[in-house]
Amino acid sequence: MSRSERYKAAKELLGRYGQGHLLDLYDRLGDDEQDGLLDAVDRLDFSRIPGWVQDYVTNSKPAALPEEFGPADYYPATSPDSEQMRAKYDQARKLGAELLAGGKVAAFVVAGGQGTRLGFDGPKGNFPISPVRNKTLFQIFGETILAAGRKYGADLPWYVMTSPLNYVATVEIFKSNDYYGLDESNVFIFQQGTLPNFAFDGKILMASAGTIAASPDGHGGSLKALYDSGATADMKSRGIEYISYFQVDNPLVSVVDELFIGLSAMDEAEMSSRALIKAHSKEKVGNFCLVDGRVTVIEYSDLPDEQAEKRSPDGSLVFELGSIAIHVISRAFVEKLNADGFALPIHRAVKKIAHVDADGTAVKPEEPNGVKLETFVFDALPLADKSIILQTIRSEEFAPVKNATGDDSPEVTRRMMVDRSAAWLKAAGIEVPTKADGSPDCVIEIAPGFAICAGDVKAKADQIAPIKSGETVYLE
Ligand code: UTP
């Protein structure tokens, strides 16, 4: 089809759906830009856009709360009471280690988000966070993956999901850091999809005269992108069976966890989750529930107060388990979802969306002016035939960097990184000087090359010199 024929067809299609304005500035564009815009129009999914506009843009469809639901069961974080369960944990740890040693596990970080709350220029993975050496999030994960590969004596490939908005910058960062010591062939960087951004009246916004405003389709987009990008095919060719999923903003995550991987495999779970006990009834994390026998996450904003506040006889919250975006996903599950066709529910986010107006003038709104749409990975949990939950301890594994200041800020994360290092040292029998309030009176950073879990520190306890008050310690 010639360009002018394509233009005519696009104009007709867009007109039919009330989106004709997308071509208003077409005449100002050069040939390549015109082609780019026509390609972008071709990619718009008009089988779904009118429904999205109706449900999530011009209206805000309330999330359908299941009629009946209860709390989900879970495996406790450590030392289960019964002999039988302790034996199961031992067996699971052994199996997890075997799967890692057999090269059956891949690390997978979702790093396609825009990180608007943190306000950092560039991909969030490049944010410097470690308390002594100021290592970036990517560097911490890269070094951890390298150390885990050495520990288990097998390649641990790393899959990195980016978005079209940060793919090029992310690849550059990995290249300029020499893939953090990993073999380049074991790092697979790919892009997730996007969804168009809408003004409140349902019109799609333009980012520039020739570009449709769009944002990444949420971490739920990973389940499609893993497949579409060829990542799952690559995993299959390497014999990978389990995908260890984590977020780019949480430097405390146990990137590959023997117990979690082993329990998932023993129970033949298609998608598993780690959870923590919520700090309070309304903590802003999703709630693990059971709906029709399936693990389902109900967002904190959707859980009615009555349920959120409900307590068990021992005083604990009935819905006590919060979701922290750490999963083990079987590769076969991702393949099955994609082969059968699946669509995760859409969530709306009201945002300030930079765009150009009808004249092509750039607009940077001071107030929210439209809606971004996204999908969430935990919405795939009910699609799994089997799903288990393993509790984790917040101070061990969850310190996400979300905001520039206050809660979930770099300051809090750094403090938690030091606290965890201190806890690992203490568990190894090493004295850590403390302040009057019990917090460490020193700054400690443990390089992943030295230890990736408390047990590794214990094994090297004799290599650690006594720590003095006020000292800065880097263990490598
Ligand atoms: P968040 O929900 O914290 O979003 O992402 P964000 O985009 O990073 O930050 P804000 O909301 O703009 O401040 C949680 C994790 O999911 C990834 C992020 O990169 C982060 O690791 N994510 C999020 C994606 O990979 N893709 C997305 O479309 C959204």
pLDDT exceeds 90 at position 108: yes
pLDDT of 63 reads: 81
Nearest atom in ligand 1 to the alpha carbon of residue 377 is: 16
> Which residues have any ligand 1 atom within 6 Å of their CB?
110-117, 124, 161, 192, 216-219, 221, 247-249, 374, 402
Mean per-residue pLDDT for 250-277?
98
pLDDT tens-digit readout, 212-243: 999 999 999 999 999 999 999 999 999 999 99
In 255-355, alpha helices (H)? 258-266, 305-309, 331-340
Nearest atom in ligand 1 to the alpha carbon of residue 162 is: 25
Nearest atom in ligand 1 to the alpha carbon of residue 161 is: 25
Structure tokens at 243: 């995908």
pTM: 0.97
DSSP codes joined into one string, 202-229: SPBPEEETTEE-EEE--GGGHHHHHHHT
Centre of ligand 1 to C-alpha 242, Å, is 22
Nearest atom in ligand 1 to the alpha carbon of residue 247 is: 21
Q: Do residues 433 and 405 lie in contact, with contact meaning Cβ atoms separated by under 8 Å?
A: no
Of all protein residues, the one whose alpha carbon is nearest to atom 27 of ligand 1 is 218
pLDDT of 133 reads: 98
The closest alpha carbon to 394, from 300, 295, 253, belongs to: 253
pLDDT tens-digit readout, 316-372: 999 999 999 999 999 999 999 999 999 999 999 999 999 999 999 999 999 999 999
Centre of ligand 1 to C-alpha 127, Å, is 14
pLDDT exceeds 90 at position 304: yes
Residue 99 parent element (H or E): helix 83-101
User: What's the whole-number average pLDDT of the chain?
Assistant: 97
Of all protein residues, the one whose alpha carbon is nearest to atom 16 of ligand 1 is 219
Q: Report all structural domains of the chain as residue ranges with CATH numbers, in order of start.
A: 64-405 (3.90.550.10), 409-476 (no CATH)
Q: Do residues 106 and 157 lie in contact, with contact meaning Cβ atoms separated by under 8 Å?
A: yes
pLDDT tens-digit readout, 67-76: 999 999 999 9
Percentage of the chain lying above the pLDDT 90 cut: 98
Confidence band of 64 (pLDDT split at 50, 70, 90) = confident
Percentage of the chain lying above the pLDDT 70 cut: 100
Pocket test for ligand 1, best of 137, 173, 219 (most atoms within 8 A of CB): 219
206-208, strands of its sheet edge to edge: 211-212, 206-208, 355-356, 362-363
Pocket test for ligand 1, best of 170, 249, 297 (most atoms within 8 A of CB): 249
pLDDT tens-digit readout, 364-391: 999 999 999 999 999 999 999 999 999 9
Mean per-residue pLDDT for 18-44?
97
